[in-house]
Each structure stands twice: as structure tokens, then as C-alpha cells.
């Protein structure tokens, strides 16, 4: 292991992996918590399928599947009457976004939706704190999904004690939802939730 280790000067263990200070604009700190693989060029790397639980306590995950194809992500029900709901999300540390408002946006395409589907954006405390339930949870629902790709966005504030931001797509019930052109960014001043 000693041959593979990389020495880290100072206290910041991430320093060797960040761009040098001279490559950043003056006065701007290194951003360490950027979203990754937003164009799905690396499949579903950095994305996670999660689900709610059915009445009998079994994970609803097997009732849903996810894939990446043609620079988009697909979340779909695998059975005619799926239990619970599913989200395909990416989670990042909220540190660089605390006290700001963020917008998650992307193009959605939905097929055969029987329940709800749309964008998902949630902020929660760090997982090592006693309460890791969402501080805030927002979404955008597709009310009349069509065959065309349509831009959607959801905006919310990130409280000062936020630990994690989760963003992606959600599906409850039968159907299929696709996401492409995904972006998470600080919202312009004056943007409403």
C-alpha cells in the first residue's frame, strides 16, 4: 500500500486532486462538490436508484429499473402495477451551496404515466447527524406528458445546515420517464421557488 499512496501536504486531503489556485479566478475557492456525469456519457456512474417501501415492508426497487442510453437516463416501472415509488438520483455535499438557492433542470420525456413523474430535488442534513430526513423536498410533476422532450425545472433554497443535495427524476406507478440535458446550478438572484 505504501507504494500506491500519494503524500498529501498540509491538512486538505483533497488538495492534490483540485486544480491549482492559479487556474481559478482570483478570490474564488475550489469547487469540490459539483454534479458529475450529467450527460450520462458514463452510463449511470454517480447516479443511484432508490425506492419507497410497500405495505409489507419490502423494497419497491425491484418494481422499477433504470438505464442510460443516448445521453439520457431512463427510469421505468418493470411490472404493470408497481408498489411504492422510485427515484434515480445523484447526491452531492451541500457545502458549496449553503445559503444559496439552487435550480435543477432538464428535458423530460414520459410515456404511459399512470401516477406521478417528474424532477426531484431534496436537501437534507448530513447522514451522521441524528435527523437525516429531508429538510426540504421539492419536485416538478408531469401533468400531461407528451411525446416531445420538454424542459422542466425545480428551484429551492439550501439552508445553512444542509449536508446533502439530492437531485434526479422520480416515478410513482406505471410508466417511463427519461431525463437529458440535466443541470444543477445556483439560481439567479430573485428566482422564485
Pairwise CA distance, residues 144 & 108, whole Å: 12
Which residue, 177, 176, 159, is CA-closest to 168?
177
DSSP 5-59: -----SS-TTGGGSPPGGGSPTTPPPP------TT-TTTTTT-EEEE-B-TTS-B
Asked if 98 contacts 184 with a C-beta cutoff of 8 angstroms, the reply is no
CB count within 10 Å of CB 111 equals 15
Can you give the pTM of this predicted structure? 0.74
Tell me whether residue 59 is exposed, middle or buried, using C-beta atoms within 10 angstroms of its C-beta: 0 to 12, 13 to 18, 19 or more.
middle
Quote the pLDDT of residue 187: 79
Half-sphere exposure (Cβ direction) of 29: Cα atoms closer than 13 Å: 9
Q: What is the arrangement of strands in the sheet containing 164-172, beginning at the earlier edge strand? A: 48-51, 85-93, 164-172, 116-124, 134-141
Phi, psi torsion values for 36, nearest 5 degrees: -125, 155
Q: CA angle, 165 as apex, 160 and 167 as ends, to 5°?
A: 145
Q: What is the pLDDT of residue 62?
A: 80
Mean pLDDT by 10 residues, the chain (193 residues): 60 57 50 85 95 59 89 95 92 92 95 92 71 49 65 93 93 95 85 63
- Is residue 169 a contact partner of residue 180, using CB atoms and an 8 Å limit? no
Domains of the chain, each with CATH number or no CATH = 34-186 (2.60.120.260)
Amino acid at each position: 500500500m505504501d507504494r500506491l499512496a500519494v503524500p498529501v501536504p498540509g491538512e486538505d486531503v483533497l488538495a492534490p486532486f483540485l486544480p491549482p489556485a492559479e487556474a481559478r479566478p482570483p478570490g474564488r475557492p475550489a469547487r469540490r462538490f459539483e454534479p458529475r456525469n450529467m450527460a450520462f456519457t458514463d452510463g449511470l456512474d454517480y447516479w443511484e436508484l432508490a425506492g419507497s417501501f410497500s405495505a409489507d415492508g419490502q423494497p419497491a426497487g425491484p418494481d422499477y429499473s433504470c438505464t442510460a442510453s443516448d445521453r439520457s437516463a431512463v427510469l421505468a416501472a418493470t411490472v404493470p402495477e408497481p408498489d411504492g415509488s422510485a427515484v434515480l438520483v445523484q447526491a452531492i455535499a451541500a457545502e458549496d451551496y449553503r445559503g444559496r438557492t439552487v435550480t435543477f433542470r432538464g428535458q423530460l420525456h414520459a410515456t404511459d404515466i399512470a401516477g406521478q413523474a417528474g424532477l426531484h430535488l431534496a436537501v437534507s442534513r448530513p447522514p451522521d447527524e441524528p435527523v437525516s430526513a429531508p429538510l426540504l423536498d421539492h419536485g416538478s410533476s408531469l401533468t400531461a406528458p407528451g411525446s416531445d422532450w420538454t424542459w422542466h425545472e425545480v428551484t429551492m433554497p439550501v439552508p445553512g445546515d444542509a449536508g446533502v443535495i439530492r437531485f434526479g427524476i422520480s416515478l410513482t406507478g406505471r410508466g417511463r420517464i427519461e431525463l437529458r440535458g440535466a443541470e444543477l446550478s445556483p439560481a439567479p438572484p430573485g428566482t422564485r421557488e
